[in-house]
Amino acid sequence: MASGPVSDIYLAPSVRTAVKLLVVGHFAVGKTTFVGTLSEIPPLRTEERMTQAGALVDDLAGVHGKDTTTVALDFGRLTLSKSLVLYLFGAPGQQRFTPLWRDMAYGALGALVLTDTRRLEQSFAVMDLLEEHGLPYAVAVNRFDGAPEFAEEELREALDLLPDTPLVSCDARDTGSATRALVTLVEYLSARVEDPTELEPA
């Protein structure tokens, strides 16, 4: 992947707040795509080609054309305002990688949970892990081509979300759509911290 200009690699001197956020979700929900779409620097990816051995433990039902998987993390950076930068850590979705979550969750302010309407039930284990680590989160429905559409009330009920948990839809391939989903999380988190001005998204 080609590197961006030097000015895009280094932080602006006006940045005074750096926030670590997790991008999580079940297997093949679009986490690597989401981080890559938003990152202003060449994203770090730890994807490996899937093998026959992995087919025994990775549920490929409803997944088409996927031949690689994240085996450690994805990493990207997004400067959201002159003073605020976000560090995005994409966590692998398979259960065998959950021991990595302990280290990845350390220092994180919150998480964006990506989900797929074709496999909503697979999001429960992810949200359980976030709650176990005490991390607040927002949920973003990644809109896949041909996936069924549901009303927000139906999705909230199916995912058993608390009334104040943000729920949005996005296209992980689209910069504007992915940014809006991330801003929703940042706004939610800023309402929870003692000094909300530390997380001004605009």
**Least confident stretch, 65-69, 70-74, 117-121, 141-145:** 65-69
Residues 22 and 53 sit within 8 Å (Cβ to Cβ): no
**Least confident stretch, 5-19, 117-131, 146-160:** 5-19
The per-residue DSSP string of 148-160 comes to PP--HHHHHHHHT
Q: For the chain, give every domain's residue range.
A: 21-196
Instruction: Kindly tell me if the per-residue pLDDT of 95 is higher than 80.
Output: no
pTM for the whole structure: 0.81
Taking residue 82's Cβ as centre, other Cβ atoms within 10 Å add up to: 13
The residues facing 49 across adjacent strands are 68
Quick: pLDDT tens for 29-85: 999 999 999 999 988 865 545 444 444 444 555 555 545 454 458 899 999 888 999
Instruction: Give CA–CA dist 101/45, Å, rounded.
Output: 16
Give me the pLDDT at residue 154, please. Answer: 97
Q: Is the dihedral of CA 33, 34, 39, 45 positive or negative?
A: negative
φ and ψ at 88, to 5 degrees? -105, 125
Confidence of residue 152 (pLDDT cuts 50, 70, 90): very high
DSSP letter, residue 11? P
Instruction: Give CA–CA dist 113/25, Å, rounded.
Output: 5
Q: Which residue has the higher pLDDT, 114 or 95?
A: 114
Instruction: Kindly tell me if the per-residue pLDDT of 148 is higher than 50.
Output: yes
CATH code of the region 21-196: 3.40.50.300
Confidence of residue 134 (pLDDT cuts 50, 70, 90): very high
Give me the pLDDT at residue 117, please. Answer: 96
Confidence of residue 159 (pLDDT cuts 50, 70, 90): very high
**Least confident stretch, 28-37, 49-58, 154-163, 169-178:** 49-58
Q: What residue has token string 């979300």?
A: 161
Residue 127 identity (one-letter amino acid): M
Q: What is the mean pLDDT of residues 177-182?
A: 97
Instruction: Kindly tell me if the per-residue pLDDT of 161 is higher than 70.
Output: yes
Instruction: Give CA–CA dist 168/139, Å, rounded.
Output: 6
Q: Which residue has the higher pLDDT, 30 or 9?
A: 30
